[in-house]
Amino acid sequence: MALIVQKYGGTSVGSPERIKNVVRRVAKYKALGHQLIVVVSAMSGETNRLIGLAKEMQAQPDPRELDMVVSTGEQVTVGLVSMGLIQEGLKAKSYTGAQVKIITDSAFTKARILSIDEQNIRADLANGYVVVVAGFQGVDKEGNITTLGRGGSDTTGVAIAAALHADECQIYTDVDGVYTTDPRMVPEARRLKTITFEEMLEMASLGSKVLQIRAVEFAGKYRVKLRVLSSFAEEGDGTLITFEEDDKMEQAIISGIAFNRDEAKITVRGVPDKPGIAYQILGPVSEANVDVDMIIQNVGVDGSTDFSFTVHRNEFDKAIDILKNKVQNHIGAQNVVGDNKTAKVSVVGVGMRSHVGIASKMFRTLAEEGINIQMISTSEIKISVVIDEKYLELAVRVLHKAFDLDLESA
């Protein structure tokens, strides 16, 4: 007998019919003798409907009141799921985040979980109940309802699994696991049986939208065994996300090719090479709530250097504007140039720590196709390059093949 947390996203509970599919799956696991906690999102479309209502009242809805409204989405789902389970003859009980006592800070619309009271849930499980918990929400110390921000239901699932020391946290989505790259771009992409947390973090933050990055961080921190599965496929083991690098011994050096099409590149040229410059450039950008991804600064020549970074394409104009009007003259830079027709491609794998030559193989593969590399950034387990957007598909395909990701034995 295992204690399993199952998390179902909005698409998986998008209609009473789909909820009945979830109910059948839960009942199947319950019949095997497992203890089950089910974490659910709002029915797909519901959160947007509620935000729409809110925006009719206030163009920028008050954050506390927005959480009050939006949190009802998951509350409806937990009730419906419990009804379905009870209809199937199971004992079931639903909980809002506040009822569990998922205590968060008071950062409405993007709260962070501080603690989870597992007592009630544990008592219910011991009494044979399937416990159904509203994802995405909690309550602050003053009793105000909070939400964790988009995708927060994954985090709820992982946090509850951590608090109750669950044997496994299963995340059900509309894909059946984590792939070596996007199968829509490379038909030869394979599902990975396992991937390490570090790799998953890199894959998630690089644009593989399977899991919310916060949930992965949380799972890594609290050593929650995480599995990504399809809620639409009857069978399949999905992808298990492991802490143990040992599990990967027999596996490939590279786990996958991640990419991000929405990357825009900005360079501030002729920057005086002195302390504090990076902050003077990026401070105004981040104050304007523009997220910065890659940051590169090369060794300076003659007291001057070039400073480059990437932002989301939608924020390219805004960032350029800030730099030209607020930064360039202020710091005495030569000029600001940019390109919003770029994309980022990364090879990810814990194996590259102990294997030299990954970078050179990547660069050679791209060079053989005539693809110019505009920026390079590396971490312990990934190498990212920025290239012209028009070469993105080609780059992903040739790298996927070069690192043998299309081979079953890989």
Q: Contact positions toward a copy of itself, by CB under 8 A?
A: 16, 19-20, 50, 53-54, 56-58, 61-62, 64-66, 68-69, 71-72, 75-76, 78-80, 82-84, 86-87, 92-94, 96, 98-99, 143-145
User: DSSP string covering 12-64, please?
Assistant: TTSSHHHHHHHHHHHHHHHHTT-EEEEEE-PPTTHHHHHHHHHHHH-SS--HH
By beta-carbon proximity to a copy of itself, the closer residue of 57 and 367 is: 57
Q: Dihedral sign for Cα 213, 219, 225, 230, please.
A: negative
Are the beta carbons of 290 and 311 closer than 8 angstroms?
A: yes
42 versus 333: smaller Cβ distance to a copy of itself = 42
3-state secondary structure of 195: strand
Question: In which order are the strands placed within the sheet that holds 226-230?
Answer: 92-95, 130-134, 35-40, 3-8, 168-173, 226-230, 239-242, 194-196
Separation CA 218–CA 80 (nearest Å): 28
Least Cβ distance, residue 119 to a copy of itself (angstroms): 12
Q: How far is the CB of 115 from a copy of itself (least distance, A)?
A: 17
Residue 80 CB, shortest distance to a copy of itself, in Å, is: 5
Least distance in angstroms from the C-beta of 58 to a copy of itself: 4
Least distance to a copy of itself, CB of residue 140, Å: 11
In three-state secondary structure terms, 368 is helix
Q: Which is nearer to a copy of itself, 62 or 291 (CB)?
A: 62
What one-letter code names the amino acid at 301? V
Helical H runs in 225-292?
277-287
373: β partners: 387
Cβ-contact 191, 176 below 8 angstroms: yes
Pick 80 or 160: Cβ nearer a copy of itself:
80
**Closer by beta carbon to a copy of itself, 76 or else 337:** 76
Q: Are 21 and 8 in contact (CB under 8 A)?
A: no
Please identify, using beta-carbon distances, which residue of 61 and 238 lies nearer to a copy of itself: 61
- Comparing CB distances to a copy of itself, the nearer of 65 and 245 is 65
Q: Measured from the CB atom, is 56 or 380 closer to a copy of itself?
A: 56
- 383 close to 352: Cβ distance less than 8 angstroms: yes
Cβ–Cβ under 8 Å, residues 389 and 396: no
Shortest approach of a copy of itself to residue 91 CB, angstroms?
Answer: 10
Which has the closest alpha carbon to 146: 217, 65, 77, 211?
Answer: 65
β-pairing verdict for 102-104 and 113-116: antiparallel
Burial classification of residue 235, based on how many CB atoms lie within 10 Å of its CB (0-12 exposed, 13-18 middle, 19 or more buried): exposed
Nearer of residues 96 and 208 to a copy of itself, judged by Cβ: 96
